[in-house]
Amino acid sequence: DMLAAALSAGMNSVGVDVIDAGIVPTPAIAYLSRDTGAIAGAVISASHNPYRDNGIKFFAGTGYKPTNEDELEIENLTLASPSPDIERPTGGKIGRSRSIADGARQYIEFAKQSAGDIRFDGMKIALDNAHGAASFRHAEAVGPAHHAGGAASGGAALGHA
């Protein structure tokens, strides 16, 4: 929670509005980044790693991984303290944060539509969510009769300029 709050506050401090999608699978942020018209998406990766390996994964507004050049720029801006090149807005120009409750549902519907007319009747399919963000959502995708349970942690945010 603290890392998500710090990431959102940092984005807000440079005038970026943040949509907090809550605990969702990483591909949901790729989808939501594109679907909402965000300039970028960020995922706090913490579902199965020791705390010292927690990190932030970024997506471009297209829903794809940023270019190597963009990743290097993000890293350089993060390490520069304070960065003289970044505008520091005040008052009404400071970014705002809001949460969406249905980000996972939107992604599940997108994933179902992406499957098209594929039928899985009579098949047994194992879902290994490794206790990640998807582990408590797969029942929504496959139906409660086929759900075996799970737990999750993590978080995500989308940035809008």
Catalytic residue ranges = 47
Q: Which of 12, 6, 33 is nearest to 103 (CA)?
A: 33
Asked whether the beta carbons of 19 and 11 are under 8 A apart, the reply is no
Would you state the structure tokens that stand for residue 100, as one six-digit string?
């969406």
φ, ψ of residue 97 in degrees (nearest 5) = -115, 145
Helix ranges restricted to H, 14-155: 26-35, 68-79, 103-115, 138-142
How far apart CA 73 and CA 79 sit, in angstroms, is 10
What is the C-alpha R_g of the chain?
17
Helix, strand, coil distribution of the chain in percent, nearest 5: 40, 15, 45
